[in-house]
Structure 1
Amino acid sequence: MRVAVYQARTGIDPQANARALVEAVEQAAVGGAAIVFTPEMSGLLDRDRKRARLHISDEASDPVLAAVREAARRCGIWVHLGSLALNEGRADERLVNRGFVIDDQGEIRARYDKIHLFDIDLPSGESWRESAAYAPGESTTIVDTPLGPLGLSICYDLRFPDLYRALSDAGATLLSIPSAFTIPTGEAHWHVLLRARAIEAGAFVIAAAQSGEHEDGRRTYGHSLIVDPWGKVLLDMGGEQGIGFGEVDPAQVDEVRRGLPAIRHRRSIASPVRV
């Protein structure tokens, strides 16, 4: 089954970003994809939080979500909209980083709020405090799609294998990891972590990424990937913006899991005894 991945260079204007997303959905449909995957923060990428707040609304009012839902309906294609920043009116005024799976009728089939938040000081001098602006999600999500059961996650979640163990234990055969990785962390860890998650879970991993130098001054790593259950990279989009395609065979998951049944061999591990 054919899938599409949209590698974006999202900017600070949600209307322009919405137009780019709609065009990507159209291109994916013309290319014969059953579903298209987009990156984290597909609707707005702006590290100036005061300016960004002017463009962030709740789910019901978000123009990017509405435009993508309409494009999915019109083109007859599923969309995993990697994530949007949304204001759900929390008492602490923090936002949520929420991904959506939209079916080919434009209906929302699943939502997922990013659980692990990126609070870090990098050797390059970059400093990020995602938890200052965003509240963490509390629950995991699996949704049935034309490709099979899809486990949802977002970017920094990639570093926490327990999440993917929970998703694969619950039946996920595909894992989506939309991202906006920094250059230093991407160069060091992106490929190896995505391949590891695919191998551990015996599942396809589809990771749509942001790429390049953005309007707000940040630089993201790109290299949107599709990885098969054996850890083979089927698609690597490098640094260029646009649509890429790959073939996903759900039968390969069963084949890999039969040949290397690590999932069935998992055991609960008690806390270590320190001696």
Structure 2
Amino acid sequence: MKNANIALLQLCSGDRVRDNLAQIEQQIKQLNAGVKLVMTPENALLFADAAAYRQHAEREGEGPLQQAVRDLARRYGVWLLVGSMPLISREDPQRLTTSSLLFDEQGELRARYDKLHMFDVDINDVHTHYRESDTYQHGQQLTVVDTPVGRLGMTICYDLRFPGLYQALRDRGAELISVPSAFTRVTGEAHWEILLRARAIENQCVILAPAQVGRHGQTRRTWGHTMAVDGWGIL
């Protein structure tokens, strides 16, 4: 891993894309000079319901959401990771994927990762039932990409509970692994830090975990606690 500044943004995204983009830009403006890679959490551009995700879903390389991110990357001269956004599936245009996109400082798309593991669980909170597979189809490929700060493996949120994925990324040369997330308050308080430190120690690599925090609508609450963990498990 090369010595370089990496910025992890912690957001409280909602159902207004314009407000979410403004929140991201405001945080980027405040970064120190020399930051080369900026990472946003899961659902960074839109944190809403299934109908809204379908309404705003784009094809890879097309649409106003991706254009807005390209513009931010170019304007501030940084590589920019969109933690996740809804894309139209390559295999089935009637389905969506929840996808992490990495843009370089010229606004060019360098990598895409479609979330492999869907968050289909019941939790003792106000929202109760989480069924990502009702909206999204799972991804089918691993993603590792060269960046100015090192070789990056890409994952999203619930993937964190599947250690085999992280070993596979490490085997492909990943020095850093991104985990943009929107852990619930309940699961985050119980498991977030433990899982991040475990994945880092197991694979002797750096885990980068930008997180959503706060209230999103009437029923969603996220844990926050954005973290970067090194191979010794140190935050």
Alignment of 1:1-275 (within 5 A): 1-28=4-31, 30-47=32-49, 49-88=50-89, 91=92, 93-124=94-125, 126-215=128-217, 217-233=219-235
| Paired residue type of 1:226 | A
Give the match's secondary structure for 2:130: strand
**How much is the aligned-residue C-alpha RMSD, in angstroms?**
1.7
CA deviations 1:124-154 (Å, max 9, x no partner) are 3611110111000000000101111000000
CA deviations 1:21-72 (Å, max 9, x no partner) are 23333333x443111110011111113x224433333333332221121111
| Paired residue type of 2:25 | V
Q: Determine the C-alpha separation between the residues in 2 that align with 1:140 and 1:102.
A: 17
- 1:208 deviation in Å? 0.4
Give the match's secondary structure for 1:86: strand
CA deviations 1:55-103 (Å, max 9, x no partner) are 3333333322211211111211111111111234764732110101111
Q: Determine the C-alpha separation between the residues in 2 that align with 1:96 and 1:55.
A: 12
How many residues get paired? 231
* TM-score normalised by the chain length of structure 1: 0.79
Query: 1:251 maps to which residue?
Result: none
Give the match's secondary structure for 2:9: strand
User: Is the 1:25–1:79 Cα contact (8 Å) retained in structure 2?
Assistant: no
Q: Determine the C-alpha separation between the residues in 2 that align with 1:112 and 1:146.
A: 18
Q: Determine the C-alpha separation between the residues in 2 that align with 1:114 and 1:52.
A: 15
CA deviations 1:192-237 (Å, max 9, x no partner) are 000000001100110001000113531001001011111001xxxx
Query: Structure 1 residues 76 and 10, CA, compared in 2 at 3 Å: closer, same or farther?
Result: same
- 1:10 deviation in Å? 0.7
Query: Structure 1 residues 35 and 92, CA, compared in 2 at 3 Å: closer, same or farther?
Result: closer
| Paired residue type of 2:24 | L
- 1:167 deviation in Å? 0.5
* TM-score normalised by the chain length of structure 2: 0.92
Instruction: Give structure 1 stretches of 5+ with no counterpart.
Output: 234-275
Query: 1:246 maps to which residue?
Result: none
Q: Determine the C-alpha separation between the residues in 2 that align with 1:57 and 1:153.
A: 20
Q: Determine the C-alpha separation between the residues in 2 that align with 1:150 and 1:60.
A: 21
Query: Structure 1 residues 114 and 52, CA, compared in 2 at 3 Å: closer, same or farther?
Result: closer
Query: Structure 1 residues 223 and 31, CA, compared in 2 at 3 Å: closer, same or farther?
Result: farther
| Paired residue type of 1:133 | T
Q: Determine the C-alpha separation between the residues in 1 that align with 2:17 and 2:218.
A: 13
| Paired residue type of 1:43 | L
User: Is the 2:54–2:96 Cα contact (8 Å) retained in structure 1?
Assistant: no
With 68-77 and 4-13 compared, the bigger mean Cα shift is at 68-77
* Residue identity (%): 45
